[in-house]
Structure 1
Amino acid sequence: MKKLLGLVFLMLILVAGTELTSPKLQSNNTLEGTWELIGFNNYDGAGGVKSLPATDGYRQIKMYYNGKVMWTRYVPTDSIEWFGYGSYTATDSTLTERLEYMSSSMRKIANKNMEWTMELVFDGNTYSQIFIDEEGNRINSENYKRID
């Protein structure tokens, strides 16, 4: 009986020790993770920028994992669904998302190839995806913070 209790006690210590020594690893040098929109920037073309926070109740979440992206948006004053799923690639300065599946509201405004290439400004726990016009000028951005 003492051996059995000793074995059970040893197993509990090993399990507890494993939990303490192997926390979830979070890498802050990659887009992989879950992000929440915190605000927007609007660029005026003359170097000026106006920052706007997300409105109360507005939530937009993006998840990047294993080359895939999924996002959803909730606007309490809007009954229209907004979501999308697809693949992504990122470099030091660009983010490209190609949607394979999306809400009907998103499909109505999607471009022909359902691909968006944006300027990427990444800082570990925050990032901005900046939309650029045909002449290379910044139009606006979505700004995110890491939540997982």
Structure 2
Amino acid sequence: MKKLIGLVFLMLILVAATTSSSSKLQTTPSIEGTWELVDFYNFDEEGNVTDTVPTADGYRQIKMFYNGKIMWTRYVPTDSVEWFGYGSYKTTDSTLTEKLEYMSASIRKIAPEFLEWNMELDLKQDYYTQIFIDEEGNRISSENYKRLDK
């Protein structure tokens, strides 16, 4: 009987440890998935948000991050110009780097062959902000996204 109680106790400890470690893994946010732009922030000289600019009616910008690759598209109902791109991305706890390898003709006209952005990243489970920084490290503006898939 003591062996049975000991075995049950050991199983409970193992189940609790497994549940605890798997819930920790689930709480670590990942940028992998599909995201939609919801609004923009502008920053002042001290790095504080000065205003929030919502997207216009009908405007949609979607980003997809999977296995180190990014694809994004933008639809603006009042604009016939196509905006999309494909490339690679890397993240750290606080940075996002996107490098476009393929892009629409409208972007190609204004961009070098390979376009790279290095941004500050604030990543949560269902929301992320990519913050654009100037040459001196000051925050300029941000794009703020919500997760579309889980």
Could you state the TM-score of these two structures normalised by the residue count of structure 1?
0.78
Q: How many angstroms does 1:48 deviate by? A: 3.6
Instruction: Give me the whole-angstrom Cα distance separating, in 2, the residues matched to 1:106 and 1:144.
Output: 21
Instruction: Give me the whole-angstrom Cα distance separating, in 1, the residues matched to 2:87 and 2:36.
Output: 18
Query: How many residues were matched structurally?
Result: 123
With over 3 angstroms needed to count, the CA separation of the structure-2 counterparts of 1:54 and 1:98, relative to structure 1, is same
Q: How many angstroms does 1:44 deviate by? A: 2.1
Q: Secondary structure at the match of 2:106?
A: helix
Over the residues paired in the alignment, what is the CA RMSD in angstroms? 1.7
Instruction: Give me the whole-angstrom Cα distance separating, in 2, the residues matched to 1:132 and 1:91.
Output: 16
Letter in 1 for 2:138: N
User: Are the counterparts in 1 of residues 119 and 130 from structure 2 also a CA contact under 8 Å?
Assistant: yes
Question: Could you list the runs of 4 or more consecutive aligned residues of structure 1 that deviate by over 3 angstroms after TM superposition?
Answer: none
User: Are the counterparts in 2 of residues 28 and 125 from structure 1 also a CA contact under 8 Å?
Assistant: no
Q: Percent identity?
A: 68
Instruction: Give me the whole-angstrom Cα distance separating, in 1, the residues matched to 2:113 and 2:134.
Output: 16
Letter in 2 for 1:67: G
Q: Hey, what does 2:9 align to over in structure 1? A: none
Query: C-alpha deviations, 1:27-55, integer Å up to 9, x for none?
Result: 86200000000000011213442111111
Q: Hey, what does 1:41 align to over in structure 2? A: 41
Q: Hey, what does 2:101 align to over in structure 1? A: 100
User: Are the counterparts in 1 of residues 101 and 113 from structure 2 also a CA contact under 8 Å?
Assistant: no
User: Are the counterparts in 2 of residues 44 and 139 from structure 1 also a CA contact under 8 Å?
Assistant: yes
Q: Hey, what does 1:127 align to over in structure 2? A: 128
Q: Secondary structure at the match of 1:78?
A: coil
Deviates more, 1:100-109 or 1:132-141: 100-109
Deviates more, 1:108-117 or 1:131-140: 108-117
Pairs within 5 Å for 1:55-74: 55-74=56-75
Instruction: Give me the whole-angstrom Cα distance separating, in 2, the residues matched to 1:111 and 1:41.
Output: 26
With over 3 angstroms needed to count, the CA separation of the structure-2 counterparts of 1:107 and 1:47, relative to structure 1, is same
Could you state the TM-score of these two structures normalised by the residue count of structure 2?
0.77
Instruction: Give me the whole-angstrom Cα distance separating, in 1, the residues matched to 2:110 and 2:131.
Output: 18
